[in-house]
Structure 1
Amino acid sequence: MHIQKRNWLGHINTYSFFCSLICVGIFFFITSKGFDSNISIGSIEVNPLTILLISSTLTLLFAVIGLGGVKNFRTMVMSILTISLTLLLMLVATSLYWFGRFIDSV
């Protein structure tokens, strides 16, 4: 009887790629709507860019873990694209977040 070994690193690689695309979509939704309105969770108000940065950081972490599941050229390109896209998104979202805080303080 042959038992297949699961390639869970390959699955993490694929899921992190789709999560990075979802994060980019959420980023465009937030910036088109205006990110000056906070989301209230109970008594805590959270900036939507903060939520985006946390999810992007988790996506980046899973993308780096998923590098261990690279089997061929396609998965390697997908990993590199995921990491690059997530880092770029985090850079832009962080700069918008801090620039917005600077403008609010003036």
Structure 2
Amino acid sequence: MTLNSPQSGGVPCGTNGRATASTPQDLFRPNARWGPSVVEIRYFAAIADVVGKSSEELEFPAGATISDLRRRLATSYGADLDKMLGVCAFVLGEELTRDPNAKLSPRVDVLPPFAGG
């Protein structure tokens, strides 16, 4: 055991106990396990037109679901948007879902029905 070993209560050799460029503190964002998370919401087609933007970041509590997202957006943009969201699909990570109980991921894509010809 050396004077700077973790067993002696010191900091590991070669460090001063402070964050360095190799361990930046700003890499640590809250997540669903530890507390509120920032979720990037991306809007497409008619939904983007209604909200007037293609994306935004919103903070949600741990364990928030698609239902929570819908309530929040309806509060911000009006009840008519909630009707539209009722027919939307949501991409959570790499999973496409319409399940209102699905937990939010760090990025959520809101996809209205698309028509083509």
Q: TM-score range with shorter-chain normalisation?
A: under 0.3
| Higher helix residue share | 1
Structure 2 length-normalised TM: 0.23
| Higher strand residue share | 2
Asked which structure has the greater CA Rg, the reply is: 2
Which fold has the larger relative contact order, with Cα–Cα distance below 8 Å and residues 6 or more apart in sequence?
Answer: 1
